Amino acid sequence: MVLLTLPYTLKITGCAGEGVICAGEMLLEALSRLGFHGAAYREFPSSIEGGYCAVTIQISDKLSYLPVNNIDCLFVRYIAAVEKEIGHCRRGAVLIYDDSSQCSEDELLALLKKLKRSDIQLIAISLIESGNDPGSKKFYSSEILGVVGRFLSIPLSNLEYTVRNRFQYKNLSTLQRNCDMVSRGYQIQQGSHYSKLPLQDKKPFEYEILDGNEAVARAAVSVGCGFFSSYPITPSTGIGNFLARVLPARGAVSCQAEDEIAAIGAAIGASFAGVKSMTATSGPGLSLMQEFLGYASMVELPLVVVDVQRPGPSTGSPAQFAQEDLFAAVFGSHGETSRIVLAPDSIGNCFNLTIDAFNCSEYFQCPVIILSDSVLGLTKGIIPVPERQDVRIINRSVVSGECKETYGESTAGVSECKDIRGELNGEEFKRYSLETAVAPIPVPGYSSVSCRITGLEHDEYGNPTDSAEMRTLQQKRRMNKLNLIETMFPSLVEWDYCTDEIDFGLIAWGITVAAAGSVVERLRSDGFRIAALYPRLLFPVCLNAIKRLQSMTDHIIVVESNGHGQYARLLKMYADVKPHSILSQTGSPILSDTLYDSCVRIVKGCFENEML
Amino acid sequence: MVLLTLPYTLKITGCAGEGVICAGEMLLEALSRLGFHGAAYREFPSSIEGGYCAVTIQISDKLSYLPVNNIDCLFVRYIAAVEKEIGHCRRGAVLIYDDSSQCSEDELLALLKKLKRSDIQLIAISLIESGNDPGSKKFYSSEILGVVGRFLSIPLSNLEYTVRNRFQYKNLSTLQRNCDMVSRGYQIQQGSHYSKLPLQDKKPFEYEILDGNEAVARAAVSVGCGFFSSYPITPSTGIGNFLARVLPARGAVSCQAEDEIAAIGAAIGASFAGVKSMTATSGPGLSLMQEFLGYASMVELPLVVVDVQRPGPSTGSPAQFAQEDLFAAVFGSHGETSRIVLAPDSIGNCFNLTIDAFNCSEYFQCPVIILSDSVLGLTKGIIPVPERQDVRIINRSVVSGECKETYGESTAGVSECKDIRGELNGEEFKRYSLETAVAPIPVPGYSSVSCRITGLEHDEYGNPTDSAEMRTLQQKRRMNKLNLIETMFPSLVEWDYCTDEIDFGLIAWGITVAAAGSVVERLRSDGFRIAALYPRLLFPVCLNAIKRLQSMTDHIIVVESNGHGQYARLLKMYADVKPHSILSQTGSPILSDTLYDSCVRIVKGCFENEML
Amino acid sequence: MRCSENKRSFSGKLKPTWCKGCTYFIFQKVLNGLLQRLNYDPLSTVFVSGIGCSSRISLYTSAFGMHTIHGRAIPVATGIRLSRSDVSVLVIAGDGDLFSIGAGHFVHAARKNIDITVFCLNNMTYAMTKNQSSPTSGFDHAGSFTPAGNQTLPLNTVEFAICCKSSFVARSTTFTPDHLEKTIIRALKHRGFSFVDIVAPCRTFNPEYFPSEKQISIVDVNETMQFDMKDYSSALQCASRCIFPSRESPAVLPVGTFFEA
Amino acid sequence: MRCSENKRSFSGKLKPTWCKGCTYFIFQKVLNGLLQRLNYDPLSTVFVSGIGCSSRISLYTSAFGMHTIHGRAIPVATGIRLSRSDVSVLVIAGDGDLFSIGAGHFVHAARKNIDITVFCLNNMTYAMTKNQSSPTSGFDHAGSFTPAGNQTLPLNTVEFAICCKSSFVARSTTFTPDHLEKTIIRALKHRGFSFVDIVAPCRTFNPEYFPSEKQISIVDVNETMQFDMKDYSSALQCASRCIFPSRESPAVLPVGTFFEA
Ligand SMILES: Cc1ncc(C[n+]2csc(CCOP(=O)(O)OP(=O)(O)O)c2C)c(N)n1
Ligand SMILES: Cc1ncc(C[n+]2csc(CCOP(=O)(O)OP(=O)(O)O)c2C)c(N)n1
Ligand code: SF4
Ligand code: SF4
Ligand SMILES: [Mg+2]
Ligand SMILES: [Mg+2]
């Protein structure tokens, strides 16, 4: 019995439709029950059936999920998977293979020999079919769970509980078959290779297992989102799947629109009606929403738009990963619009950042775009989810009414009601007053004054105007109202300080932060002095933070997963920084090792230049 | 009789629906017949009827149209127009007013006195109604033409000819009434204030009177555009109006689509079918086209998209002017797309640049966006239009076929046909070969091989692929293929050199170039050494030119009509320039005087700093 | 939503920029009068429109107004309705807005029977962009994009609305304010997706309809035709015969309530 | 366009990524066989599709193929057709693609009678995005966005297509390849906008239709119903009664040619 060290990485591979992802997610649940942190990262083909499919389970005692290539234990059913993954297996890794399928021991040994990987420890097991899925394919999830669970010495009762939980809504015979299969898998002899995970003392019940999509959706519920409309698109669909189940029970609305234009249009309508609203999509949908995004900026209604990024352009690579929609999020609409762009940097942060997004949107009265991505969105993590009462909630300022019951506190989240009838003195209400950054919003059926809104340029009352002066003033106000965001929402910028004198600064955003974090540690232990800046507020650019970093060093590295260096270029545009860009376009998040090497190369280059 | 000096500026004002714009355009035609250059700039309200309406006629002996505020002669019917325009009248300007309408001499004198403009010379005339328009409003165009024509001593026969030309398709009685009215206007006594324009020797027949929209459309016809589809939107509608009349007669197609998405979709379909195609729109339409623009980049089909800019965001100010869609044109689609963005800088250049746009698009196989604007689009100019044989035309490289007749030479413009059957040796055709920047395009019904195209990432054959390596290679090729554009199309960058050592450099784009040109002259005569750079190629950034300018000076000023300094920021992003921005958001193009003052202020600031 | 207190006016403070004599004034007057008479509360009523001459109406009311973007009034109204069952939602937009760029949204809101009232100010042209053929323009209509004449039969909006499963479908016209009023009342009372096509020709670009209220014979199908407006198939058949402007009888304008589920 | 030379195969080199037993294989086989038999020239034929499992078919042909973006196959096909009268243009896409996001384009291409043939591979779900209700999903269909059951009646595509003035409208199914073949031939021969709804349930997400070819009774309306398919109103009425899946008789699938102008 080997005692494993954390983080420990286990990868289960197979073909789409065989249940490997299900197996991985059940394993995560079982681990969570034992007090572990961790995440389950899925890889799947873009077709519905067939094709390579895998799930990587990272078992950890810390919160963050780190994209890794150092596999400690690999489970395979096909020899092709070994060829594909062996390069990512660390020395001495364990390979559990199904000798009942396409993998024979001889072949395997021959292959490992060819690949010069005699360090790999082999465990042969024999799966049987466990049940039929609707398409009458083999479905192995519970059996695999049994095998892997036994390997990690997880109690069978825990695994069985997990299986019951997972299949609770299936018919009884399916449920029973899965329970049988988990114990069958558990009983398969694995020789003397059993291992054991270190004991954990985390209180398991403050945590939930959610992927980033679910975390976004969960947060929307917590913050009082009363209306969600969307159109399905990979990899954002999970948000809709979650909210379609959860919102109606809370008296809120989830609506499948006929397309993305209708989806954002309905969300804008709901926002006008006083209800917090959200829509979610991926790149192609973001492109379609550009006209309405500009409208929301112009009429200054709160609105949250989630873009779960995937590689583009056009349909691109729907099943892969990239951070390529930043430019479209910032600049996509015609004209000059005031909007906020945020990016979560961990699965857990998908929750908190969505809360922030709603708050910013309500506070500044403008659309907020959340740039998530396919890995954050589809990777399950064991994350802390605060109770509603612990969530900081900002509600839009509205014009109050005739002392009707406060409208829909929990869903619309109307607070800070101003009864402005007294102030008006018979004058018209200035919805777009130039004297304040944002004026309160009249809400139909609730407020004591009405308002009319238009995408035409308008004066303080909201009436269309041809006056260039008024246009300039309103445009300025719409832009400048965002100036305070960095101060108002300090949690939108994350720092990893060092000393005031540093050798270089590293900037990363989105999921790339995970790799950056581990690289920073490594570089520091190499003796480099580094400060790291992890902006979640991508636009408007967090100038205070950037300036501070600039004051510490001239050498700033920006790492991101796109071809243009989009965030680096935003910094050039808005902050006069000339960063070094590290770009990655592998279809997966950048790996620590790669990032480490690139950083070292750049830093050495800089120092050499300075020597000269 | 006063002999006038050129450029001479005459402004006719009135209410929408009274025919003032028609009067101005007829005047321009009459002037053109006398060998003048010139332009007629329209101002109109965004509603159909009522509201202030005006046309400014600039009479010149040079080609370019310059937005001006120095009015030499103002025609008014309402006293409000005097208040509005008097500030733009140069000292000693002539004011022709209609004393039959809301303007009395006493009032006028009182007003001028109050405004301290006793320098203004008054001419009273009395219009009568000339005919009824469909909405039973007064329609004064021919009568005004008579008045103004007499003032400038244009022969009556010329004016009558013009009127006949203009109303040729109206019914006989309308035509006759207009002819009567022009001579009535001609006969109104104007006291002793007649003037005369200097004789011209330009050959009038090489020139046409077109506004920028018509010039774009005319060029599309010349270059062999075989398909145009669009959806009406101010201020781009004129392009569709023109092509709907002209294309069908040439066996080509003009199609009104149900919306902008369908418009660009149909144009892409036609392009796939081997036919040069174009669509035109304004800001909101550009936003709607973003998804298809990304698709065109991805499948690498030639396509020209005209965006006649108006102020945004959202519906914004449809009747006014701005240069605000640059960011949306460059960055608007999700993912990272390869596209070309061009901007014409004069009415005449609307023609040439559209030719260039088609050529670039055919050559590089990607969408080209032309950023025109409401002033270029709606201002009539007397411009040279080359014969088709003098136009440089590049046609896409296509895969040739079984020696059928070359397909639709004039419309599809298929040339440089490659019969690749021999080369293939039974292998599949590489539509997206990595060995060349662009491969020839197979055309249905014409080529000897077929192809299938997809917005999914694809390999060299065009088949979908999940390979990250292939994706990176194809993305690189799609981006890099544009590297040669600046060298291949030198006319896309215009220089106004001085010496190699300069005090500062000025960059302007679009119609702003007109004001910049006159300011450069003035500043040079002040003793400053200036080089001016007028890029028509906005994206990819014309790095060679920018670098050259940078090598001459550190002080670079960029002038443009938007709030963000969009082109200036593009330069920061892509060329490491730190320019001074001069921004204008007045709803009209920046005026020379304003620009001059701003330039002087910046230059002085720089010099003072350097002194310290 | 009805007022508790006194009847309140729906006239807004902004002066319409419509042409003198525009038929939209007639519609506006009838609608505003009616809403007041029926005790609607401007503070609980939302006018939603797209872009076009017609769509400006949402800026000219004392109620809440959303002047949105071209073609998208219906999705926005859907969002208001689904999130707030307690406010009245009226969509008022043009033929181009609702049936060209907006056609897809119409189909789905009708199909889902979203409880909104949709008024099409049908002037059979794109007036705001100066006369292009709209989906309801007559065959041979010379729009600026179709100078040789539009070669498409007009969309029969009432037939289309029924086929999309609207639960109330009617046509009226600004030529007969009384009938218009009667029709609007019915539409407002109906619960579910209700649609009224209002023939309101453009004075500037469709002058041939003026001053010709007499030349056009307005026929009330509820008086002249035998059909059961509660029966889908009967209603659909009746509506499909009642096209306007029709090539066969261009001078006949069939109005009335075609379907009420 | 027909070949001058030998009949040429329409089978592409790319292997479909469809699930084993996907009904789209049946459609593909019938269509490809037919095009070859009818002497169509792959080099003069364009398959245009949107995005979805169904829409991938344009990548699996030896003809020209445009796999475009979601919902926009029809505008693209319109552009090809209007600019090139000499190539054959087939649109093949899913029910979600054509009738949800693409509904507006369908309306206008039909109305303008654009000479293209549109095949809807109607599996009554969004298969590619893993089972959300589509406009043709049955009432109570539990899509992932409507877990409590879709509360909307399905769009009757044949009725809708007729109402939009398609000049040829039929329905067939992959359950009856012979009938499918016959129907496709008619559709291809027709000049003008022709539409065929092809009921082709998804094996993965609509397993209840398998292996139940026998449970569903397929009824050919041309044999069982009295109507004149050349007469608009008669055809419309017939089509409006032939909804699938219908709440009243879920096991009856009415197929046939409904309208031919
Ligand atoms: C996305 C977009 N496309 C085009 C336009 C231009 N546009 C404004 S109004 C209009 C048509 C209006 O026609 P209709 O809806 O019938 O209203 P009407 O003016 O006739 O009352 C168009 C095409 C726009 N504003 N936005
Ligand atoms: C603009 C856009 N929105 C959403 C999607 C995601 N998407 C891909 S296919 C599809 C639906 C496919 O359904 P259907 O057309 O019925 O085809 P099927 O897969 O059922 O054959 C959707 C919503 C997309 N690709 N693009
Ligand atoms: S153009 Fe026509 S629709 Fe528009 S305001 Fe004038 S009359 Fe009314
Ligand atoms: S998911 Fe359904 S429609 Fe898609 S390929 Fe599989 S069986 Fe066919
Ligand atoms: Mg209209
Ligand atoms: Mg489908």
- Tens of pLDDT, residue by residue over B110-160, are 999 999 999 999 999 888 754 444 333 467 899 999 999 999 999 999 999
- Indicate yes or no: CB of C101 within 8 angstroms of CB of B231: yes
Q: Which of C144, C140, C139 is nearest to C127 (CA)?
A: C144
User: Among residues B366, B390, B414, which one ends one of the domains?
Assistant: B390
- Please give the average per-residue pLDDT across A472-487, as a whole number: 95
A178 CB contacts (<8 Å, ≥6 apart)? A130, A131, A141, A142, A163, A166, A167, A170
Label residue A415 by pLDDT band (50, 70, 90).
Answer: very low
- Please give the average per-residue pLDDT across B575-594, as a whole number: 93
pLDDT at A51: 78
| Closest by Cβ to D128, choosing from A48, A134, A256 | A48
Residues of B in contact with A16 (CB under 8 A): none
User: Among residues B332, B364, B390, which one ends one of the domains?
Assistant: B390
Judge if B140 and B233 occupy the same domain.
no
Q: Residues B510-519: pLDDT tens digits?
A: 999 999 999 9
Residue B126: count of CB within 10 angstroms of its CB: 12
Residue-averaged pLDDT of chain B: 89
Please check whether residue C9 touches A, CB under 8 A.
Answer: no
Tokens found for residue A18: 């065989």
Label residue B407 by pLDDT band (50, 70, 90).
Answer: very low
Label residue D214 by pLDDT band (50, 70, 90).
Answer: low
Work out how many domains chain C is built from and give that number: 1
Please check whether residue B46 touches A, CB under 8 A.
Answer: yes
Judge if A286 and A170 occupy the same domain.
no
Q: Which of A8, A137, A114 is nearest to A68 (CA)?
A: A8
With a 6 A CB cut-off, is B49 part of the ligand 3 pocket?
yes
* Position in ligand 4 atom list of the atom nearest CA D23: 8
Judge if A74 and A193 occupy the same domain.
yes
Judge if A71 and A188 occupy the same domain.
yes
Residue-averaged pLDDT of chain A: 89
Judge if B17 and B92 occupy the same domain.
yes
The SS3 of residue A432 is coil
Residue C258 lies in a domain: no
Q: Would strands A367-373 and A380-384 be described as parallel, antiparallel, or unpaired?
A: unpaired
* Position in ligand 3 atom list of the atom nearest CA C121: 3
Q: Which ligand has the shortest distance to the CA of B284?
A: 1
Residue B380 lies in a domain: yes
- Please give the average per-residue pLDDT across A559-564, as a whole number: 97
Judge if A245 and A311 occupy the same domain.
yes
Window 396-425 of B, Cβ < 8 Å to D: 401
- To the nearest whole Å, the CA of A569 is away from the closest chain D CA by 29
Of A409 and C238, more confident: C238
Q: What does the alpha-carbon distance between residue C174 and residue C213 come to, in Å, rounded to a whole number?
A: 10
Please, what is the Cα angle at B190 between B189 and B196, to 5 degrees? 120
pLDDT at B388: 75
C228 CB contacts (<8 Å, ≥6 apart)? C234, C235
Of C114 and B608, more confident: C114
Residue B522 lies in a domain: yes
Judge if A214 and A198 occupy the same domain.
no
Within 13 Å and on the Cβ side, how many CA atoms surround C89?
A: 29
Q: What does the alpha-carbon distance between residue A122 and residue A190 come to, in Å, rounded to a whole number?
A: 9
CATH of the domain at B94: 3.40.920.10
pLDDT at A409: 34
pLDDT value at B499 more than 50: yes
Q: Which ligand has the shortest distance to the CA of D205?
A: 4
Q: Which helix (H) or strand (E) holds D37?
A: helix D24-37
CATH of the domain at D70: 3.40.50.970
- Indicate yes or no: CB of B428 within 8 angstroms of CB of D13: yes
Residue C222 lies in a domain: no
Residue A559 lies in a domain: yes
Residue A523 lies in a domain: yes
pLDDT at B130: 41
pLDDT at B233: 98
Share of chain D above pLDDT 90, in %: 92
Question: Reading across the β-sheet that carries B530-535, which strands appear in turn?
Answer: B493-496, B530-535, B504-508, B556-560, B580-583
Point out the least confidently predicted range of B205-219, C203-217, D35-49, D83-97.
Answer: C203-217
Label residue A449 by pLDDT band (50, 70, 90).
Answer: very high
Q: Which of B474, B487, B489 is nearest to B438 (CA)?
A: B474
Label residue B410 by pLDDT band (50, 70, 90).
Answer: very low
pLDDT at B413: 36
Residue D122 lies in a domain: yes
Work out how many domains chain A is built from and give that number: 3
Give the range of the structural domain holding residue B369, as residue numbers without chain letter.
Answer: 209-390
- Indicate yes or no: CB of A234 within 8 angstroms of CB of D129: yes
pLDDT value at A133 more than 50: no
* Position in ligand 1 atom list of the atom nearest CA C94: 15
pLDDT at B495: 95
State ipTM. Answer: 0.96
From the CA atom positions of chain A, what is the Rg in Å?
26
Q: Residues D53-63: pLDDT tens digits?
A: 999 999 999 99
CATH of the domain at A312: 3.40.50.970
pLDDT at D90: 98
Label residue B169 by pLDDT band (50, 70, 90).
Answer: confident
CATH of the domain at B578: 3.40.50.920
- To the nearest whole Å, the CA of A378 is away from the closest chain C CA by 28
Give the range of the structural domain holding residue D29, as residue numbers without chain letter.
Answer: 24-205
DSSP conformation class of A314: T
Q: Residues A317-340: pLDDT tens digits?
A: 999 999 999 999 999 999 999 999
Judge if B384 and B247 occupy the same domain.
yes
pLDDT at D103: 98
Q: Residues A480-526: pLDDT tens digits?
A: 999 999 999 999 999 998 777 899 999 999 999 999 999 999 999 99
User: Among residues B390, B425, B441, which one ends one of the domains?
Assistant: B390
Residue A493 lies in a domain: yes
Judge if A262 and A167 occupy the same domain.
no
Judge if B308 and B348 occupy the same domain.
yes
Amino acid at A270: A
pLDDT at B133: 42
pLDDT at B199: 87
Residue A22 lies in a domain: yes
Q: Which helix (H) or strand (E) holds D92?
A: strand D88-94
Residue B612: count of CB within 10 angstroms of its CB: 4
pLDDT value at A412 more than 50: no
List the beta strands (DSSP E) in C85-189. 88-94, 117-122, 168-173
pLDDT value at A127 more than 50: yes
Tens of pLDDT, residue by residue, chain C (261 residues): 444 556 789 999 999 999 989 999 999 999 999 999 999 999 999 999 999 999 999 999 999 999 999 999 999 999 999 999 999 999 999 999 999 999 999 999 999 999 999 999 999 999 999 999 999 999 999 999 999 999 999 999 999 999 999 999 999 999 999 999 999 999 999 999 999 999 999 999 998 888 766 678 999 999 999 999 999 999 999 999 999 999 999 889 999 999 999
pLDDT value at B404 more than 80: no
Residue D77: count of CB within 10 angstroms of its CB: 31
Residue-averaged pLDDT of chain D: 95
C249 CB contacts (<8 Å, ≥6 apart)? none
Residue C60 lies in a domain: yes
* Position in ligand 4 atom list of the atom nearest CA A47: 5
- Please give the average per-residue pLDDT across B291-319, as a whole number: 97
pLDDT value at D99 more than 60: yes
pLDDT value at B299 more than 70: yes
pLDDT value at B69 more than 90: no
Judge if A226 and A307 occupy the same domain.
yes
- To the nearest whole Å, the CA of A453 is away from the closest chain D CA by 27
Judge if A181 and A45 occupy the same domain.
yes
With a 6 A CB cut-off, is D123 part of the ligand 4 pocket?
yes
Q: Residues B338-390: pLDDT tens digits?
A: 999 999 999 999 999 999 999 999 999 999 999 999 999 999 999 988 877 78
Tokens found for residue A267: 């969300």
Please check whether residue D206 touches A, CB under 8 A.
Answer: no
pLDDT value at B420 more than 70: no
| Closest by Cβ to A325, choosing from B287, B334, B562 | B334
Q: What does the alpha-carbon distance between residue B217 and residue B225 come to, in Å, rounded to a whole number?
A: 9
Amino acid at A85: E
> Ligand 2 centre from D128 Cα, in Å?
6
| Closest by Cβ to C146, choosing from B231, B244, B314 | B244
Residues forming beta bridges with residue B531, ordered by sequence position: B505
